């Protein structure tokens, strides 16, 4: 077999494999700028949204608009008192859920499906803090109770809404590099493996 033929066969095998992987395990396949915004009932797709003041880490691909963030954060003028930075960051992140371009993974049946671990970490970091007038450590037995009071559904499933501390770090977050691949087809499989194939 000459080199060309070998290449062709390798390519065909690769395509067959890829198709098997995709049909067997793929949940969803969307390019970075085409993710459906389930909070907005799928009438929107995530897109570049400059000037997000509070949920700024979603600017490169966002389901919310600048004005929506402003009104959510303004109506909760002072939701938090006596909060540590770790607490504040978590509450801030939680409040920005409707901006996430990945909400189609965990905003289902009209509810945020939040990871139990995220709720637990809020309960730990925010024990002393007051949120909407209640001291979190006193008012809620555990993180699950706190999240349920926000009308979230608490779960341990693989695709739940979880905290990403990277967005508050001074160093550029990892997802910046992913954003460079926009236009590429991003395939997320259940096994949490990611196949990036440029089409
Ligand atoms: C939202 O952003 C504004 C402007 O940067 C800031 O003053 C305010 O403290 C932020 N709110 C929260 C809850 O982080
Ligand atoms: C939280 O507390 C409830 C009882 O109020 C309990 O049923 C549940 O198992 C607790 N969850 C965790 C994660 O500790």
Q: What is the pLDDT of residue 149?
A: 94
Q: What is the pLDDT of residue 43?
A: 87
The answer, yes or no, to whether any atom of ligand 1 lies below 6 A from the CB of 53, is yes
| 63-78 average pLDDT score | 84
What is the overall mean pLDDT for the chain?
79
Whether residue 94 contacts residue 136, with contact meaning beta carbons closer than 8 Å, is answered with no
Closest ligand (CA of 147): 2
Is the pLDDT reported for residue 98 higher than 80? yes
The answer, yes or no, to whether any atom of ligand 1 lies below 6 A from the CB of 85, is no
Closest ligand (CA of 155): 2
Which one has a higher pLDDT value, 76 or 138?
138
Contacts of 51 by beta carbon, 8 Å cutoff, 6+ apart: 59, 66
pTM, two decimals, is 0.72
Q: What is the pLDDT of residue 3?
A: 63
Ligand 1 centroid to Cα of residue 98, in Å, is: 17
| 181-187 average pLDDT score | 32
Give 94's pLDDT tier (boundaries 50, 70, 90): very high
Instruction: Give one DSSP letter per residue of 87-126, joined into a string.
Output: HHHHHHHHHTGGG-TTHHHHEETTEEEEEHHHHHHHHHHT
């Amino acid at each position: 077999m000459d080199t060309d033929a070998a290449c062709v066969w390798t390519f065909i095998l690769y395509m067959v494999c890829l198709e098997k992987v995709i049909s067997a395990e793929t949940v969803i396949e969307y390019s970075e700028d085409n993710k459906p915004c389930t909070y907005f009932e799928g009438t929107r797709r995530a897109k570049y949204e400059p000037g997000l003041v509070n949920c700024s880490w979603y600017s490169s691909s966002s389901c919310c608009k600048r004005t929506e963030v402003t009104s959510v954060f303004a109506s909760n003028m002072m939701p938090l008192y006596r909060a540590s930075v770790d607490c504040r960051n978590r509450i801030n992140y939680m409040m920005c859920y409707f901006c996430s371009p990945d909400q189609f993974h965990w905003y289902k049946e009209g509810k945020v499906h939040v990871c139990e671990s995220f709720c637990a970490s809020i309960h730990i970091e925010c024990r002393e803090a007051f949120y909407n007038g209640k001291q979190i450590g006193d008012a809620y037995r555990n993180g699950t109770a706190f999240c349920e009071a926000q009308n979230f559904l608490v779960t341990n499933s693989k695709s739940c809404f979880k905290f990403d501390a990277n967005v508050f770090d001074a160093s550029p977050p990892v997802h910046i590099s992913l954003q460079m691949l926009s236009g590429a087809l991003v395939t997320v499989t259940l096994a949490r493996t990611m196949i990036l194939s440029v089409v």
